[in-house]
Structure 1
Amino acid sequence: MADRAMKLIARTLAMFLIAALLAACSGPSALPRAPLEGAAIGGPFTLTDQDGRQVSDTAYKGKYRIVYFGYTFCPDVCPVDVQNLGAGLRLLEKSDPGLGAKIVPIFISVDPERDTPAALKQFVSAFHPRMVGLTGSPEAIAKVAKAFAIYYKKGDPAPGGGYLMDHSRVAYLMDPDGKPLALLPQDGKPEAIAIELKRWVK
């Protein structure tokens, strides 16, 4: 009887030991894998910023990047998304200035026909003081959009003139080497964006 009880105790202790080891392996010390790690998103580019300067992706090396594609004449979606992204970054800057300073928000136009550097400057400055606006030739925009898996298409002319652009609605967080980390919830609350930034920016 005693022998049987000892075996039961030993088996129970072994189970607790295994459970403890598993918990240790999956605890806070285990680094989560970024959702977009290894995805073929992003790549080299050379575009024109809101000050009319030609810049390449290497200008942002060493910085995390929020990358969003849109256009300044967008009547509703783009301004809301970019406002949320800017507000989310400001929340992180307020709670953790060191982390916030590591991030560059970048807005890339899918409407180079109308989005001149001057138009971009007025647009991005309304959402965050460090936001970068990028435009370029139709060929350059097509190339960078393809690299980031972004769909866009010019719509039919509107009755009163002008046109809309149909485009993908995503915000990427890229690492300091320009590799993709995660999608940001740009259509959600700024608090959710700040939480996601803090999750991946180190």
Structure 2
Amino acid sequence: MAVSIINLGLPKSGTTTLKHALDRAGYTVADHRIKARETPDDPADRVFVGALMYEGLYKYGDPLALLKDYDALTEVSFIYGGTSVWPQCDHAMLLALRKLHPKLCFIATRRATEELARSIMRWNNLGKLRIPLSTVPGLPVGYGHEVDEQMIWIDGHYEALTHWFRTDPLYLELDVAAPDARSKLERFLGCDLPWWGQSNINPEDRDTPETGAEPAEQKDTD
């Protein structure tokens, strides 16, 4: 087994939707944390996908060296315990991944910019505390408290990916809310997806869940 898909989307961009879709299609997915590698009786023990990618890159020369049990990585960034890690924003990381794994497929899940920014702001303390108080690529400490600031950061991230990958046929920016999102992803991956819907819905939005919605999957708060 080897990682064949990495999502470079930001938090709340549809990362959990992608996880569930790939799970249902038979992929072995690592999303945000790998709880199977954590010590069950130690609440402070956290094994994050992004941390393993950096350990792999700098200790073993390959960002995927410690992730050989997985086919897909659907959320790679994290902020926890004063640590802020964003592999999807790191050109050195992307360069190493592309050089070492030329057949690797990159997806960048996204939603409409303002919708994504507002979702980040509503999700636990992510937009109101953790991002503004952390060092985030393109969003220095003290910025990100406002939706307008988040929108500049979000657009900058996806524009940077578009520039980086240019005409790379193994890169797909995917608007998860688009009517053709499922068919685009199926064509890109060359496989059928038994499920496509909405996952990890913000609590404020759960009064009107979309068809096929999955239960929310809580991710870390600091």
Output the TM-score relative to the length of structure 2. 0.27
Q: Which has the higher strand share?
A: 1
Instruction: Determine which structure has greater relative contact order: mean sequence separation of CA pairs < 8 Å that are 6+ residues apart, divided by chain length.
Output: 1
Output the TM-score relative to the length of structure 1. 0.29
